[in-house]
Structure 1
């Protein structure tokens, strides 16, 4: 058409000139196109087929989320693919992260999700649990293996790989942060491919990996090394009644304030974690398959003096704060068997956590938090599949709120610590 216009004007154009005119007109048209919409959608998971989008929950209302720049190849590394697979170039995108995940949380989650496995150590008497040394992406050390795996762990560069059946621990970590308890160690879901690991760890199954806190305090007693202090059930109940620490020569127990036990009880009830305050399953009738039955622990419920607490741990850097470990709990524990013994002796709860339970937004907040862990999100099917699990947690929250009301329990404000 351009050539016809020029011919009407009595001018002739050579083919190269005509082509140049057409290109100029095309560029002029492009510059007048309307700008693209001002938003950045979340990237599709690597394994998603075209047109398959997760039904994302509404973002957190009333708070400004931070924007973190997380590398897209994180998911590829989590899947254990080699850097040469695929032609996708390394790039960064903005991803909103909820404000309850601190910068330290995000840094540790990044290390756990994408760090290169450079060493391994078996944990005695813990079956398929493996401690691994991790090297962050882009570390200047390159491919040089650490001279001392123990030293690497002391520097905070280790994680504990647990069983596939313990993936609930990742949800527990996010619940801890959403409620503002901040007592659990960072955890993510990951697939491994390192040649240093046995095949059972590299068969493509998704496993939780928990950050290894280098200064957890353990008793020297080989039969009780999963505690920072020895505490029996009767001493624990007396301590709660008097609101005074139980001393009896145990300095670590004496530093744990009453409010810490309240946080632990709330957390364990929502997740139905028995193997801490009630490892003997005295608060409900256990199934024959429960470890407390198989190990003949349930029989000891008839003698409270024999009952002890387990996994009562603190860090040397913060001896007055409990550390919640082994938080897999019971996602399918039936409502008619909820263990109220976990709440026995507790007469107050943290106000901020209870306010979140009352808000009616617990499920949407958890969905927003879990979405940060792309591996877990994809493997569980996103919002639609996670909803049933979160409804169980929410239902337990409503039961706990009714318990607080029926027993006229009080709330306390968190003090900065």
Structure 2
């Protein structure tokens, strides 16, 4: 049977419609709407039935995000996961996991082209690995509870796929990340704040939902978690009780180091003695904006802590009466850059009350980095952070976009204004970025 010509069919139907209208026109009446619609619908369906099929151009959609649940509202429950017999269904695997390698490379190039200038090419490469890398191994971090270190293989990494999965080998090659608790998502914002201010001392971090069968259910129940790049050459002390430092440093020694003509911090200790005074200014500014106490004031000596604070429960706050007993923690450098501090565990306190801001974090600091201060003075801190956070699709969508993130950014902005006022009242200076 010869195939019908859609053009001829359309012409015939058009003639029929025109003929059907003539009696009605002579009577000066309009064609009834149902009849007209019926003829037009039949005409459209018949034409479409004879058209050649179109190629598939449907977009590859990302998995739908859960309703916004700001992580700062869960800050009080960070000591453990919620216990529940049933969790939300595991979201489907990300579409890029099934795409050819060239698709992943094009996506990375497009993301790099759209990224703000303060995110370097190296930052974006590590963020891509953390966001899309396939989990190939896992190890527990002693004394760190819910933190898992995972080995990652980039999409399309055929060379890496040929190697046996092993956490030590992957981590030494820079293909590892630390998965932290859902409440630690603040650490992702801390990374972007670090880059916006031009400090560049924290490690890349992204938000991600995990689906790997290698991970426990609490990691794959649909909640976004932060994953932070694992730097393979962090310098750690051999002391098992103090392995989160590159050097042992007490509060009094630290204050002596901050003096213009201070003594060498710890005689014979290369990592500490190579850290210049300017590095502590970077750290103090960063920690004040985030209200991170665990590095410079883990004893909460700079404010009156609530009874539920770990520094009170662990009887640390009582040591504030004897400064000689106070020590600094998380003071780390990399072997490849022993004069630059590395900021880790940056999930500070988004809900720390403004009337209890810890100014002890600024004690002894007499100057601040010029670039960072200029950003704070510009009045654009919130908009710059929004532009940067928008690069992290999972964080952006899970927190409700700009509107969901706004309260947190306003808190950071208010602290920035307080810091600027402090700098002015104390008549402190600024310094340019010094090579070291």
Task: Give me the whole-angstrom Cα distance separating, in 1, the residues matched to 2:341 and 2:129.
Answer: 24
In the alignment, which of 223, 227, 235 is matched to residue 205 of structure 1? 223
Q: Determine which of 333, 338, 344 is the counterpart of 1:325.
A: 344
Question: Is the Cα contact below 8 Å between 2:192 and 2:388 reproduced in 1?
Answer: yes
Instruction: Report the aligned-residue RMSD.
Output: 2.7
Count of residue correspondences: 356
Residue 81 of structure 1 corresponds to: 93
* Equivalence for 1:405: 424
Q: CA deviation at 1:415?
A: 2.2
After TM superposition, list the pairs within 5 Å mapping 1:49-60 onto structure 2.
none
Report runs of 4+ in structure 1 exceeding 4 Å deviation.
15-22, 43-46, 82-87, 90-93, 141-145
Q: Secondary structure of 2:258's match?
A: helix
2:388 is aligned with 1:388 = no
Within 5 Å, which residues of 2 pair with 1:115-194? 115-141=133-159, 146-194=164-212
Task: Provide Cα deviations, 1:193-241, integer angstroms capped at 9, x if missing partner.
Answer: 1111111111111110000000000000011000000000001001111
Structure 1-normalised TM-score?
0.80
Q: How many angstroms does 1:85 deviate by?
A: 10
Inter-partner Cα distance in structure 1 for 2:241 and 2:338: 22
User: Is 1:47 aligned to 2:72, yes or no?
Assistant: no
* Aligned CA distance change for structure 1 residues 399 and 82 (closer, same or farther; 3 Å): closer
Would you tell me which structure has more helix in proportion to its own residues? Answer: 2
SS of aligned partner of 1:167: helix
Q: Is the 8 A contact 2:62 2:95 kept in 1?
A: no
Gaps of 5+ in 2: 12-59, 68-89
CA distance 1:366–1:148, shift in 2 (3 Å): same
Corresponding residue for 2:291?
272
- Note closer, same or farther for the CA distance 1:365–1:224 as it changes in structure 2 (3 Å cut): same
d(CA) in 2 for partners of 1:224 and 1:409?
34
CA displacement, residues 38-59 of structure 1 (integer Å, 9 cap, x when unaligned): xxxxx9864279xx9xxxxxxx
Q: Which structure 1 segments of 5+ residues have no match?
A: 1-14, 23-42, 53-77
Distance of 1:274 and 1:196 partners within structure 2: 34
**Residue of structure 2 equivalent to 1:111:** 129
Aligned partners of 2:63 and 2:91 also within 8 Å: no
- Partner Cα distance (2:331, 2:6) in 1: 82
Distance across 1 between alignment mates of 2:421 and 2:191: 24
Query: 2:366 and 2:238 mapped to 1: Cα distance?
Result: 33
What does residue 282 of structure 1 align with? Answer: 301
**Correspondence list, 1:213-292, <5 A:** 213-244=231-262, 245-292=264-311
